[in-house]
Structure 1
Amino acid sequence: MKLSRLKTLTTLALCVISGAAPLIADETSLAADRKQIEQLDQLTAVPKMQAAEGFDSTPQLRAIYFDALDWKGKPTKVFAWLGLPAKTEGKVPGIVLVHGGGGTAFKNWVQMWNDKGYAAISIAVEGQIDRRPKGERKEGAYWQRHKWPGPTRQGIYGDSNVPLKEQWMYHAVADTILANSLLRSLPEVDGSKVGLMGISWGGVITSTVIGIDQRFAFAIPTYGCGNLATVENQYGRALGNNPTYKQVWDPMLRLNRATMPTLWFSWPGDKHFPMDKFAMNYGAVKGPYMVSLIPKMGHGHGPPWKKPDSYAFADSIVRDGKAWCRQTSVKRDGRTFSATFESSKPLQTATLISTTDTGITGNREWIESSASLEKKDGKWIAQAELPKGSTAWFINVHSDKLTVSSDYQEANLTTSPSK
C-alpha cells in the first residue's frame, strides 16, 4: 500500500473515532481554491435589488434584498438595510457594514453612519433577516431565515470539508463584495469613497475581503483577524489541523495585497482574537494602517459603535486621504519605550498599557500607567518606563475622546515598522 494512501486511511480512521469531519486536501486543489477566492474581485456588476416587504422602511432607510451567488444550484439573496444621510449636498461617502456572530443586518448601525454623513449598507451574511424566530427558538437560531438563504456559519470554518463554493466564508466574502458594488452604484454615493467595517466574525470577513477587493477606500477590521491556527483558544483548537484554513482562507495569505488605509480596532482584553495575532495582521498589509486598542472596551457590536474612533478615522480618509493620526516609529532602549506619531489633531495625553503576565493576551492583566508626551519638530513623542518584567506593551495617545495606539510589542515579538 502506498504511503499517501495509508495516511489518508489513517486520517479517516481518526476522524471516525473522534467524530470530526475529515479534512483531506492536496496542494493542487488548495491552489485552485485560492485562485477561485481571488477571482471574487470580479463581482463588480451591480446586483439586482428589491424591496423587502413588511419592514418599517422610508425613502432614506430601506430594507432590501439583493441577488447573490447560487448555493447548491439555487439562487440566493442577501437581506440588508440600506440608508442615505437625511440631507446631502453632492455625492456622499459610503460604508459596507458586516456583523459578527449572532448578529444580523442592523438598522441602527446604518443610522449611526447616516448621521455622520455616510451612505451605509448593513448586510446579513447567514441568510437571515433582522427579526427573531417565531415561537420556540431553536438552538443557535437568533434570527429568522428568509426564502432565499445561502449557507450559515458552521462553527469555526467547520464546513471546510465541502466544496469551496458551498462554504459559508466563500458566500460571506462574495456578499460583502457585492454590497460594495451595489452601494457605490447609487447616484448619491461617491464610489471612490466607500469603506468597509466588520465586527468580530465580520472583522474576519473584512480582513479577508481587503486582500481581494481593492476598490474599498478604507477598512476597519474590528476584533476579528487572521493567523488564528496557532492561537491557544477555541480558534487554534479548531484550525490547527485545518489545511483549508491555513492554505486557502487565512487572511494573512492576501493581506500584502491590501493597499487601502486600515484601522485595526480592538482592546487588549479580547479573549477571541489575541493582540500578537492582531499585530501580525496589520504588520502584513501593504497600505498605511492605524491602530486603536482601547482598554476595557469589551467585545460585541455595541462597544465599537459607541466609540468615536471608527467615524473619525473614516472622516479623515474621505476628507484628507490619510488617517488623522498614525505611528511613525517606535523605539526601546532598555526599559524605556517611546513611540512617535504624526497627527492632524492636537494630542493631550499618553498612556502606557503593559502586562507582566504570559499566555494568551486576553487572559492577562493589563496595567495602565502614565507616559510623557511632547511635540517636537511637528511630531508627537510619547515615552514611558516599562515596569520590570514586562512581557507586552503599547502606548496610547489621546485627542479628546479619540485613541491611537502604537504597534503592539512583546519581549520576543516586534511588528514590522509602520508604513
Structure 2
Amino acid sequence: MIRFFLIVSLAFTVSLAFTVSPAFTCAADADDFAMQRSKVTALGELTTAPRFIAAEGFEEADNIRPIYFDALPYEGKPTKVFAWLGLPEQAQTDSPDRKTVPGIVLVHGGGGTAFREWVKRWNDHGFAAISIAHEGQVERREATRKWAKHDWPGPWRRGHYQDVDKPIEDQWMYHAVADTVLANSLLRSLPDVNPDQVGVMGVSWGGVITSTVMGIDSRFAFAIPTYGCGDMADAENHWGQALGNNDFYRQVWDPVHYLPNAQMPAMWFSWPRDNHFPLGSQAASYRATKGPAMVVLLPGMRHSSRASWTPPDSYAFAKSIIADQRPWCLESQSNVNGESLTVVFDSAKPLAQASIISTKDSGFTGNRTWTETPATLQHQDDKWIASATIPSGSTSCFINVKSGELTASSKYIELNDQ
C-alpha cells in the first residue's frame, strides 16, 4: 500500500471567489478581455492540495492507484477529476535513508484519458507521477473510442474553444488549467515528493494546456509541451479555420498571453510533419518564454500519446533539470549567412552527429516534404558547432544533433524571414 493514501483528509480550499459573468462575444472591449485574462491568471493561486479519495472499480497494479480529487464547481455543481497516481519504488521503502523523489503531472490529448501506463513509465524513471483526465472521464471504455464518464464531471471540450459563449468559469479550458494546477498541488503535497522538483508534460491538447499553465503556475520546475502550443489562430489548417474569427481565443486563451511569465526550463517536443500544430506556431510559443527553451523535433515521430512517451527524450530532459537545473543541450547561437547555417550548442553530453532538416515547400508545415542531409559537427572548448549548407530553394530548416538515442534541435528557421 502506498503511504500517500494516508493523506486523504487533506483540506481543500479554493482561494478564488467565483462569480458568474455574462456570456462573452467578440464585441468585448480591451478591458473586458483583460478582466478575463486576470481570472485565468488567478488559477495559479489554487495552491492548496485538493481532497482525494480512492476510485473504486479499477484494477490496481504496479503500486499505481486510481483516485478522484476535488476540482472547481461547474455550473454550480461540485466536480472531481479521475487520475492515476503512482510513486517509484525508491519512494515506497521504509528505509530511514529514503529521500524524496521528483514528480510530474501528465495531461492527455484529445480523445485520451488518464493513462496508467504513462504513470508507470515515469515511475520507472524515478519520478512520482499523476495522470489526469480533464473531460470527466475515466480509463474505461464505454463504447468503441469512447471513454466512460464518472459521476462528478466538469465540462468537456467542444471543438476548438467553441464554448466561449459561456461564462469563463464554465469553459472547458478554464477547468483544464485548474485541474492541472490542482494536480500539481496534490502531487507536491505528498511527503515522498520533492515539491521543488515537480514538472508537467502535456500531449496535443494537453500540450496546449501545458503551454497555458506553464505561464500561470510558476511552481512547476520544468515543462514539456508536446505537439500543442499557442499562436494557432492563423494556422493554415483546421485550427485556423476554427479560430480565425474567435476573438476570445485571440485575446484570452492564446497561450502567448501567459508564456512571457514562464521562466522554468521547457522542452518543446514535436516532429516536422505534425498535421495539427505547425512549427512556426511552436516557435512563436517558445520564443515568448523567458526560461531556457530546448527544442526536440524527431523526424518520423508521428502524433499520438504512445509516440510521445516512447522516445527517451522527455525523460532525459527531466532528469537533466533535476540533476543540473538546466536542459542537457541548448542552442546558444545560430547564424544564417547566405546558404550556410551555423548553430552552436551547449551540451552536457557528447554529441556524435548532426544533420540539417529542410524543406522547399511552403504552406502548413505538416504538409511539407522534409529532407534530412548531413551536417558537420565540431567540438571546440565546451561548445559543439554544427554547420550545414542550406539546400538551394529551401523555405525553412533546422539542425538536429544526436547523443546516442537522444536528439536536440536548433530553433526553427523560416528562411524567407531572413
**1:69 aligns with one of 38, 51, 72:** 72
- The 5-angstrom pairing of residues 85-100 of structure 1 reads 85-88=88-91, 89-100=98-109
Give the Å deviation of 1:58: 5.1
CA distance in 2, matches of 1:337, 1:27: 42
Does 2:82 match 1:79? yes
Q: Which amino acid aligns with 2:116?
A: K
CA distance in 2, matches of 1:264, 1:350: 19
Question: 1:328 corresponds to which residue?
Answer: 332
Question: 2:317 corresponds to which residue?
Answer: 313
- The 5-angstrom pairing of residues 11-410 of structure 1 reads 23-57=26-60, 60-88=63-91, 89-133=98-142, 142-410=146-414
Contact kept, 8 Å, 1:23 with 1:160, in 2: the verdict is no
**CA deviation vs aligned residue, 1:2-45 (integer Å, no higher than 9, x gap):** xxxxxxxxxxxxxxxxxxx9644333321211110010011000
Secondary structure at 1:130's aligned position in 2? strand
CA distance in 2, matches of 1:194, 1:38: 20
Q: Which amino acid aligns with 1:394?
A: F
Contact kept, 8 Å, 1:203 with 1:223, in 2: the verdict is yes
Secondary structure at 1:291's aligned position in 2? strand
Contact kept, 8 Å, 1:83 with 1:121, in 2: the verdict is yes
CA distance in 2, matches of 1:59, 1:402: 27
CA distance in 2, matches of 1:178, 1:83: 16
In structure 2, the CA distance between the partners of 1:281 and 1:413, relative to structure 1 (3 Å rule), is farther
Give the Å deviation of 1:403: 0.4
Unaligned runs of 5+ in 2: 1-23, 92-97
Bigger shift: 57-66 or 199-208?
Answer: 57-66
Give the Å deviation of 1:59: 8.3
Q: Which amino acid aligns with 1:106?
A: F
Contact kept, 8 Å, 1:354 with 1:367, in 2: the verdict is yes
CA distance in 2, matches of 1:23, 1:331: 41
Give the Å deviation of 1:232: 1.0
Give the Å deviation of 1:87: 2.4
CA distance in 2, matches of 1:195, 1:331: 32
Contact kept, 8 Å, 1:24 with 1:161, in 2: the verdict is no
Give the Å deviation of 1:60: 2.7
Give the Å deviation of 1:412: 2.8
**CA deviation vs aligned residue, 1:238-295 (integer Å, no higher than 9, x gap):** 1111111000010001111001000000001011100111111111101111000011
CA distance in 2, matches of 1:272, 1:313: 24
Give the Å deviation of 1:304: 1.4
Bigger shift: 26-35 or 287-296?
Answer: 26-35
CA distance in 2, matches of 1:404, 1:354: 16
Q: TM-score, normalised to structure 2's length?
A: 0.91
Contact kept, 8 Å, 1:23 with 1:161, in 2: the verdict is no
Give the Å deviation of 1:378: 1.4
CA distance in 1, matches of 2:386, 2:364: 27
Unaligned runs of 5+ in 1: 1-20, 415-419
Percent identity between matched residues is: 57
CA distance in 2, matches of 1:360, 1:109: 30
Contact kept, 8 Å, 2:25 with 2:248, in 1: the verdict is no
Secondary structure at 2:147's aligned position in 1? coil
**CA deviation vs aligned residue, 1:329-358 (integer Å, no higher than 9, x gap):** 001111010100011111000011000111
CA distance in 2, matches of 1:36, 1:107: 32
**CA deviation vs aligned residue, 1:190-224 (integer Å, no higher than 9, x gap):** 00000000000000000000110000000000000
Secondary structure at 1:144's aligned position in 2? strand
CA distance in 1, matches of 2:206, 2:381: 40
Secondary structure at 2:140's aligned position in 1? coil
Contact kept, 8 Å, 2:357 with 2:400, in 1: the verdict is yes
CA distance in 2, matches of 1:24, 1:131: 42
CA distance in 1, matches of 2:229, 2:178: 18
CA distance in 1, matches of 2:38, 2:148: 34
The count of aligned residue pairs is 389
